[in-house]
Structure 1
Amino acid sequence: MNPLTTLERRAMASITTASGAMLIVAADQRNGMKAVMGSPDGPGAISKAELADAKGDLVRHLANHAPAVLLDPEVALPALVDEDVLARGTALVVGMDASGFETVDGLRHTQFVPGVTPRTVRDLGGDVAKMLWYVRPDRQGADSRVAEEMRDLVKACEAEGLLLIVELLTYRLEDETPEEYAEAFPRLVADGAALAVACGAKVLKLAYPGSAEACDAVTAAADGVPWAVLSAGVDHATFVEQVRTAVAHGASGAMAGRALWKDSLAMTSAEREQLLTGRALPRLRELATAVDGAPA
């Protein structure tokens, strides 16, 4: 277990429900958010200003009802703080990762948003930072580039008094069949968690590993470090059941993006408000019940 500092403990409390479960609305997507906005001319026709407006509506009508929201420093910030869109009672998690990845020797590597550091996260009003890494723990060990990057950022955030959420995504290799990857997936999630914890991670954001038994394995691998389930684009009903299972087997909450809002981001602000309040907000409330471990 990697214990929290006093400052990190306070930050952790800001992203949890009254019962202590993590619940964060993920709205740091850029290309993924454009893809569900429904422009008749396709995602490429959506401007940065239009995307920023959609993110603003998402915060106003959905995320402000959650303990915390995850936003990006390329489109959403600092405007949504400076313009008082973000409610004072909703903590801000700042995503440090840029969209996309580069591939080196068959392995994926994410990159930082240019110029974004732990100090930048503070300057943007952030309470917590988040960084995404793609991992293949069967190919990447403690001496790998990804492990070195994790260790360096954990240390830099701790020096800044900033809690860091480490998000991990696994992926299929070019020489791996879909069946081989599906078989390896639960083990990859657990082994990825173990690698991140060995590198000093104090909070994890992980894919649902597939079953109650796999969740037990992840919890054991995390060795006392809290982990939250990401929605990975599944539908809301599926995600809620995944969260209930994960929480019952050691997970500490959820970070939900597309499962909440992917069918609620119409092109006009008026339509978005109606969909976010009438469709996405009830989903958030149901998810809050799930992370708190209440029965269905």
Structure 2
Amino acid sequence: MGPLKPARRWTVEKVKISPGKLRGLRRLADEEGRFRMMAIDQRGSLKRMIKKATGREATYEDLAQVKKLIVKVLSPYSSATLIDPTYGFPNAAKYIPPEVGLLLAAEETGYLPAGTGEKERKSRLLEGWGVEKIKRAGADGVKLLLYYRDDASPEVVEHQRRIARQVGEECRAYDLPYVLELVSYPFKEDEAKAEDYEKNPEAAKNFARRKPEIVFSYVKEFAKPEYHVDILKVEFPADLKFCKEYADGTFDGIKRDPVYDLSEVEDFVREVTRLAKVPWVILSAGVGIEEFLEEVEIASRGGASGFLCGRALWKYCVDFYPDVEAVEEWLMTSGVENFQRLYAASAQAKPFFETEAFGSFSNLELTDKGPDWYKLYPGFGSA
């Protein structure tokens, strides 16, 4: 028997990352590398909520006040807070704790109707605002909301992709993490939202049935390196109201014909993880807290890195406005409880540095690491 050969040493190729992206991602995550983020960048939807609560049109001061109250109470529980630059940040910036990350939105609220019958949607960047100002304002990352259907008109699809690329290039130049939020919508004659089930059940089932493939298609597209996306903020890849285990009206009291079961839904989530490669988080899309908790738990088991939650977390506080004390009371009780439950639901979320894009924390290494790193690191405008 010959001499034993030395064991083979496997070398793992380091993943190169810029310092701004790395620091930003760590600022947006908690100590475990999971994203437990709160969104309070809503504008149009919040106006409608305030109008419903007060019976009058919402003013600038109304939106500023509500956002300030929510940030003061709930931001300390978040790993990062997403806020808008119009009503939110100017009025609530000082209430975001220094240990909490800051995300600023880049888009104009709403969308431009487009395509055949003007049922398709074009996103817009907020005029007079952009990545350079977001960097200068001290943010840890940039968020862009993009409405997307890859079966929309070619001109609409290209418009949306162009905006996504533009923001991605600017985030790369200013070395800021890029969070791309992707939201689908029904626009075909045979599609409808889940809440329209009683009026048009077949159309609502059609959209629910197509939802997984819609999500897969946009995740696959925007995970491409050309967009420079660091975190994908995506919809749950199914509608649990049409899932066999919940279709009896679990969340809203409306019984629906199921179009998939929980085992299939779990497969959908794993497929999102496979396609995304980069870290992804789940958005709440205005659903109730009970439904979102289920989505977060399923998504976390399937490879998501956490959540970026808006209305599901805090929306019922607006019902008490303009009674500021009542709003604060709801936030300090029900709002805090919602956050605590979301933490528990996301306990199995995958730390961002363990996703396929990175492999492990020890695998990360600064680009151009070495004695001349400071010379090679590009300044603004030269990246």
- CA distance in 2 between counterparts of 1:164 and 1:49 reads 30
Q: Which residue of 2 aligns with 1:110?
A: 123
- Label 1:4 to 1:101 Cα distance change in 2 as closer, same or farther (>3 A): farther
Does 2:154 correspond to 1:154?
no
- CA distance in 2 between counterparts of 1:73 and 1:24 reads 17
Cα shift readout 1:227-277 (whole Å, capped 9, x = no counterpart)? 100011111111111111001111111011111111112212211110000
Q: Which residue of 1 aligns with 2:301?
A: 248
Deviation at 1:35, TM superposition (A): 2.9
Superposed, which structure 2 residues align to 1:36-47 within 5 Å?
A: 36-37=49-50, 38-42=52-56, 44=57, 46-47=58-59
Greater CA radius of gyration, 1 or 2? 2
> Any stretches of 5+ residues in structure 2 without a counterpart?
1-14, 192-202, 239-264, 350-383
- CA distance in 2 between counterparts of 1:30 and 1:243 reads 24
Counterpart amino acid of residue 100 in structure 2: T
TM-score, normalisation: structure 1: 0.91
Cα shift readout 1:117-162 (whole Å, capped 9, x = no counterpart)? 1011123331111001111123478982222221121111110111
Counterpart among 172, 176, 185 of residue 186 in structure 2? 172
Cα shift readout 1:33-67 (whole Å, capped 9, x = no counterpart)? 2333453324x2x2111210111110111122211
- Sequence identity percentage: 25
- CA distance in 2 between counterparts of 1:153 and 1:251 reads 23
Q: Which residue of 2 aligns with 1:284?
A: 339
Superposed, which structure 2 residues align to 1:1-296 within 5 Å?
A: 4-37=17-50, 38-42=52-56, 44=57, 46-81=58-93, 84-106=94-116, 107-139=120-152, 144-177=158-191, 178=203, 179-198=205-224, 199-210=227-238, 211-222=265-276, 224-265=277-318, 266-267=320-321, 268-293=323-348
- CA distance in 1 between counterparts of 2:17 and 2:328 reads 38
Deviation at 1:23, TM superposition (A): 1.2
- CA distance in 2 between counterparts of 1:141 and 1:220 reads 27
Counterpart amino acid of residue 121 in structure 1: I
- CA distance in 1 between counterparts of 2:115 and 2:138 reads 37
Identify the range of structure 1 (188-197 vs 136-145) with the bigger mean alpha-carbon deviation: 136-145
Q: Contact 2:104–2:142 (CA<8 Å) still a contact in 1?
A: yes
Counterpart amino acid of residue 272 in structure 2: V
Q: Contact 1:22–1:291 (CA<8 Å) still a contact in 2?
A: no
RMSD over equivalenced CA pairs, Å: 2.0
TM-score, normalisation: structure 2: 0.71
